[in-house]
Amino acid sequence: RALSTFSRVSRAHDGLLSPRARCLMTLVQRAAGASTPPSDAYTDTHTFDHEIDRIFHNNWLCLGSENQLKQPGSFLAGELAREPFLVVRAHDRQIHSFYNVCAHHAAALVDSGLGSLPDASEITCPYHGWTYASTGALKKATRVKGIENFKPKNYSLQPFPYSHAGPLIFGHFGGMPDRTPSPCYS
């Protein structure tokens, strides 16, 4: 009955809907009688873009565990919801989260996976050698001589919100969230 009402409303407003909304409505209608979602639900780029925007960028995503970052300079890096991330235990033993992108030419700072920085207090971009403190501040920039008004403080690594739930580290790629993750155990 709800699907019937949904179908009537969607037909009445079809000309007003965006291509993405029409695609989603089609998927919902086709899925109503199916035992599994239609194959389009897994392969359609509009559906994927919508899921990234509405689900992954609006929720806390588990990035790893504090147990993976025991020593200063240890890091975990990867890509989740199209966002390259870097989580580092800094020399002050605090955890920091950044997009894994150099502020200079957007090169990846470290390879995906678990690792340890050669110098526990620094992250060096392999492309032009810009060097950041493990807290994200730009320490050294190459090839900037003659650039007017260059201020290193404007070129720190871009952080994203992170939080803990027990030993788990969660990141939020959609700006400042309105809630923090909570552990599923007591």
Q: Which amino acid is at 154?
A: N
Comparing 182 with 131, the larger pLDDT belongs to 131
Could you report the per-residue pLDDT of 95-122, keeping only the tens digit for each? 999 999 999 989 999 999 999 998 888 9
Residue 23 pLDDT greater than 80, yes or no: no
Select the highest-mean-pLDDT range: 20-24, 49-53, 74-78, 150-154: 74-78
Q: Is 143 exposed, middle or buried (0-12, 13-18, 19+ CB in 10 A)?
A: exposed
Handedness of CA 126, 129, 132, 138 (dihedral sign): negative
In this prediction, residue 186 carries a pLDDT of 27
Q: What percent of the chain has pLDDT over 70?
A: 84
Residue linked to tokens 């998927």: 27
Q: Which amino acid is at 66?
A: E
In this prediction, residue 12 carries a pLDDT of 54
In this prediction, residue 29 carries a pLDDT of 73
Please state, rounded to an integer, the average pLDDT across all residues of the chain.
Answer: 85
What are the CB-based long-range contacts (under 8 Å, 24+) for 151-156? 155/103, 155/104, 155/130, 156/103, 156/132
Could you report the per-residue pLDDT of 142-175, keeping only the tens digit for each? 888 888 888 888 999 999 999 988 899 999 998 7
Residue linked to tokens 């950044």: 98
pTM: 0.75
In this prediction, residue 34 carries a pLDDT of 66
